[in-house]
Structure 1
């Protein structure tokens, strides 16, 4: 757990710790307990090697080649060849923060003491993080079983002085050997089991998922904020977010979003001004906000639970145990048992990643519908001009912002559900894979597109506010949201390109800066589904 400045590897790791290391360059340290576990695990591997038994991952081939026995004088070459051959990814390199998640999560998994690596391996990984050495890791190639092999192999190449890396403060790419040298680190010669331990696991999936959980939770607060402001300036009612309605269908997500809307619109004179109007019901995109936003909150909470478990799990294969902790088996000595299983399979994350991606797509779709309610002259309130244009006809106002939101929703829908796909590999030995890394990459993109959709809603709702009777006050939170938008984007004074405005607001949502001011003004802040 991070103490605010340093993340201790080998203790419990949370998504916020991953974000701190990946984005804020929080330094890492290896706990004493983790070092002891790593040393004990390595001693067990050495005892197995000394026994002369054929053990998968130590002195046999891999995958379909598991029946091939490797002579003792070729064990180091076996590990090196494994890294080289598996570094066959494609696509653009991962971003810096994504590579840092990969380094951190693999380091942490090895520090749990079930992988059998030497202490120098975890020290080198920690040194790379702290000194800003970032391997060039190609994005595509993982099937999510036997883990994220290809991306992790690109990372591991740098540990042995091969491949390419960037180093903070030095322009361009360097060879793996040169990058380590610049950081005061030495390339490793991999010992038996270490090559497989470096690449066998779900760390790309788990690392990306940790970042998207942090981002998605922030998006949900932004969605409640945007939705509350849109409801207010669109002359909708907030009665639909009442405690009474939530209490008779008490889903935790619904209750959280309903509470947020009430806090955001507290003391709103705009809402009060039409409480007794003759409109019987609002459109679903206004009326069902707590139900839909709340369901998405629960989907993200479901993902967070899996990510927290995965971050602190051993996903290597084979796993190294104390002999007394498992039933007698062939690959066992008096002090160690080497157990082959399937903890590398990404299904526990893949399905929840797909679920979260679909849920966030629905969040974006509802936001786009609210945007249309503000712009569409056939649907909007009479106090708003068509498309929020100052001079309708001569000007188009926010018209094309809704087009862009619709395009982004379509892009999110195209992400599909990669986690239900399967292509057998390795001669049929690995006949069911998870595609979890593809699911993680898809969710990453859905989060980004949904963020831009919400930025468009904030842009349009702030513009709609310009047409509300200025003698009426916004709610406590909606006033702060309007101010936060206007601090970054001016009101329309004739047509202009809105691309930069959307970028500005999307960046402010991503960083949390737009919501910081809003949350500060709320009595009790934002509520999450887990509270």
Structure 2
């Protein structure tokens, strides 16, 4: 995709995934401008009549009863942005900021926000020029919208603060000048429309979702490789077992394991003389656990897709009646729940991987050389690599505690219940990196186990993944500096490269 036309309210998960992965030119469908204009005209009419309307000619939050004269409305909106730009911490990644800006444009363009087309067009021009607002990661409680981070986004439109442009952090006014974009002077309602909404928490949650998709795919493939490395049975993946339970994710996951292990020489070599009756749960129950994770991923994806297309600022302008209604669409509880659910999936994918890794290095369970290295004793092999996996799995357990159950009132108790969605979503990045490292360590171990079974081969699909690994990481014959190997394997997981050659095996699983 090189150019993407925004049809407000109709973005797909594929559209959002593409915008997350790459920067491309965007445009707005011409049919959206009538609704945008009508909404803006409605706001101007309210100002001209002198009717009191929240956020248009009043103060904000608990100051909503304070009436603002018409000649101060531009200053009101500018002051709103400056005073609310109070974020702290590291800057959000370009990937996340692209999603934020894209979703904010799409939301405003639905015509319920009272913002002029010139403002939306300026946002599109900034996006296309590669001007990325510098948005600190911390400072939002997920209601009343992501006020602080979205204010930092809006600063760039005003020519205030810093942006990333051509790989450098520079003054927004200089970036706009180089791109030939004039700074915006905000009119009534426009500042509030820009900063009130759930786009930051939703973008962070989508970032977590797309990473979780890669963790799921890699987790299934690496888990299947571990089955063969440990000479496990493929009987637990029989379709009949899963059909009688009926859980859709489990049924889909079992089909993946059957396909991945199909035609394995290693499996065929021990179908008759294997004395083991049952494999440990980390091998045998993979469809049940990974299938449940898939169901959670799917549920979160549905929620986040709806939110990505939603109008979540306040108040909302209804042109057909002229009503200005103060509601609460900025409350990001759906996003918080979706992020908490993803945290569970990320944690469990890593937890199962760590258990399989522990199995592989234990020669009494795997029948492989102790710690997956020849001459164990003088060589420690993968002993401490497993300790790293255990440390990361434990860390994820702590971070998986739901953020949505917490709330601290703000704005002098006017905003007395908040979602904490922004933190709920932001933590997914760290959790995903932890699980990617755990899976990378398991992949190194499983690959080692496959090599110990040579000349027998695993299945064609898994041999392809094994070759990918061996193209970058050599067989572990004696102790060596192992950390770079872990980082290489982790990058394979996070990059989504393991499943790219799987011929669409995972494609039908996501919206």
TM-score normalised by length of structure 1: 0.93
1:526 aligned residue: 506
2:249 aligned residue: 253
Alignment of 1:133-152 (within 5 A): 133-152=131-150
Any unmatched runs of 5+ in structure 2?
none
* 1:19 Cα deviation after fit: 3.3
- Pairs aligned (count): 508
Question: What's the Cα RMSD here?
Answer: 1.5
| Alpha-carbon distance in 2 for matches of 1:17, 1:27 | 13
Q: Identify the range of structure 1 (102-111 vs 209-218) with the bigger mean alpha-carbon deviation.
A: 209-218
2:270 aligned residue: 274
| Alpha-carbon distance in 1 for matches of 2:324, 2:366 | 69
1:348 aligned residue: 334
* 1:292 Cα deviation after fit: 0.1
1:454 to 429, 439, 448: 439
Q: Deviations over 1:340-398 (max 9, x none)?
A: 10000000110121011012201110110000000024x4322x111112220111111
Name the SS for the 1:208 alignment partner.
helix
2:280 to 280, 283, 289: 283
Q: Deviations over 1:295-316 (max 9, x none)?
A: 0000000000001100111001
Report if aligned partners of 1:298, 1:529 keep a CA contact under 8 Å in 2: no
Q: Are 1:207 and 2:203 counterparts?
A: yes
1:182 aligned residue: 178
Report if aligned partners of 1:136, 1:154 keep a CA contact under 8 Å in 2: yes
| Alpha-carbon distance in 1 for matches of 2:360, 2:6 | 49
| Alpha-carbon distance in 1 for matches of 2:508, 2:479 | 38
1:316 aligned residue: 313
1:10 to 7, 11, 15: 7
2:101 aligned residue: 103
Alignment of 1:259-408 (within 5 A): 259-276=255-272, 277-324=274-321, 336-377=322-363, 379-382=364-367, 384-408=368-392
Any unmatched runs of 5+ in structure 1?
325-335
Name the SS for the 1:428 alignment partner.
coil
Q: Deviations over 1:472-521 (max 9, x none)?
A: 2211222112111111211113111222112112222222222222x03x
Q: Deviations over 1:232-251 (max 9, x none)?
A: 11011111111010110121
| Alpha-carbon distance in 1 for matches of 2:441, 2:49 | 65
2:65 to 64, 67, 73: 67
* 1:529 Cα deviation after fit: 4.5
TM-score normalised by length of structure 2: 0.97
Q: Deviations over 1:166-202 (max 9, x none)?
A: 2125xx3222211111111110010000000110000
Name the SS for the 1:49 alignment partner.
helix
